[in-house]
Amino acid sequence: MKTNRFQDKVVLVTGGNSGIGRAAALAFAREGAKVVIAARREDRGNSVVQEIKDKQGQAEFIRTDVTKGKDIENLFKIITDQYDRLDCAFNNAGVSSATMRRTVNMTMEDWDGMMDTNLKGVWLCMKQEIPLMLKQGGGAIVNNSSIAGISTEIGLSVYAASKHGVLGLTKAAALDYAHRKVRINAVCPGFIHTPMLEEPWKLNPQIKDLTLALIPMKRFGKPDEIAGAVLWMCSDEASFMTGREMVVGGGQTIHS
């Protein structure tokens, strides 16, 4: 069934050139949104834009590194000059470590890379998104956390810290702006079949089966299954929801 919940709305998807972000960008465009994709790899960004245009959708790619203040300024200058509004944002760009290492074996580079992208990047984007939404009288933001934002496994300390941080930031920002009609929620995906999930399998193929065994539904999630939750939280159907996380993980976390 095709609906048009986002007809002519301006929607930003960071990390929209791959995996979960790509699925969300395609889904927003299918429902009528003008989608702005922000990420670093231009070739992949342009190819998602082409996919959207081939289906008569509207999209553009703006090369952005969410860890760089100058790139963020440039991104929002373009959004402001071109549209002067932003209705929804999916702050999804993120990185993980391909190797699972215990806390003392993580390096400063691991810390800086994951914290800067997964947590500071979300905050830097929200600093620009919220004023645009306030100016137009409201908007909806979804931040991409993880099931590692509410529980964790051995070897994930820095990633889990960054994703727990995303949930804290989401709740605090939601409280700050609930009275001004800017809703801010988070999605917590379980194991979703994307390039990020495949990275550790390349180093150790056994990890695939070990991971699968942790999921009660005994299958990996699909990027579209996260996009569906994100679109719902951004839509008017979720108009009374703010400061909460939606877990989409095939039953994983039921035990914890």
Ligand X SMILES: NC(=O)c1ccc[n+]([C@@H]2O[C@H](COP(=O)([O-])OP(=O)(O)OC[C@H]3O[C@@H](n4cnc5c(N)ncnc54)[C@H](OP(=O)(O)O)[C@@H]3O)[C@@H](O)[C@H]2O)c1
Minimum distance of ligand X from residue 179's CB (angstroms): 29
Residue 185 · residue 174 · CB < 8 Å: yes
Instruction: Please say which residue, 144 or 170, places its beta carbon nearer to ligand X.
Output: 144
Rg (CA), the chain: 17
Interface with ligand X (CB under 6 A): 14-15, 17-21, 39-41, 44, 64-67, 92-96, 117-118, 144, 146, 189, 191-192, 194-197
> Amino acid identity of 58?
Q
159 as an active site residue: the answer is: yes
Write down the catalytic residue from 6, 159, 177, 191.
Answer: 159
Among residues 235, 254, 215, which one has the least CA distance to residue 28? 235
Minimum distance of ligand X from residue 169's CB (angstroms): 13
Q: Tokens standing for 78? A: 């373009």
Alpha-carbon distance values, 161 to 22, 27, 110 (Å): 25, 30, 12
> What whole-number distance in Å separates Cα of residue 75 and Cα of residue 98?
29
Instruction: Please say which residue, 7 or 142, places its beta carbon nearer to ligand X.
Output: 142
Instruction: Please say which residue, 42 or 84, places its beta carbon nearer to ligand X.
Output: 42
Minimum distance of ligand X from residue 10's CB (angstroms): 19
- Report the catalytic residues: 159
